[in-house]
Amino acid sequence: MGAVDELVRRRAAVVAERIGGRFEHGEGVGVRLLVRRVGKVGETIVREGEPGDSMFIISTGEVRATVESNGKQIPVATLRDGDFFGEMAVLSGEPRAATVTAIKNTELLELSRENMKEICSRPPHVETKLRLAYDERIARSRP
């Protein structure tokens, strides 16, 4: 395994602990399900209203989520190492609920809808934790 793969594996394992799953080799899921992406400062990672077929785990860096209101971008969250986003669109099938932009150089681990289904089919508590996060974000977004 290369140095980058090993680093991604370690970071994914730490992040997975947060959501109650395992991304380690030999534990059923494996790093093969995650795609490493880099977001440079100012780069839009996902855009509000677009279809969403993957979620992202922040390995390192910082992003800002904004929503459009009356022609202005309103900040709704700042996310950092270990946080995740994009699960709302993946779980609901609805368009992206926010635009997410890198405010620092950011390394992301992208998990497609198909690979998320594979993860959720193994340890059921992973899907439960993602759905809880989804429900919390829905509740916070309502007036």
Question: In 10 A of CB 16, how many CB atoms?
Answer: 21
Please provide the distance, in angstroms rounded to a whole number, between the alpha carbons at the two ends of the chain: 48
Helices (H), ranges, 79-123 = 87-92, 113-121
Q: What confidence category does residue 99 fall into, taking pLDDT thresholds of 50, 70 and 90? A: very high
- Write the single-letter amino acid at 97: A
The helix or strand, by DSSP H or E, that contains position 86, with its residue range, turns out to be none
Residue 43 pLDDT more than 50? yes
pTM of the model: 0.70
Residue 61 pLDDT more than 50? yes
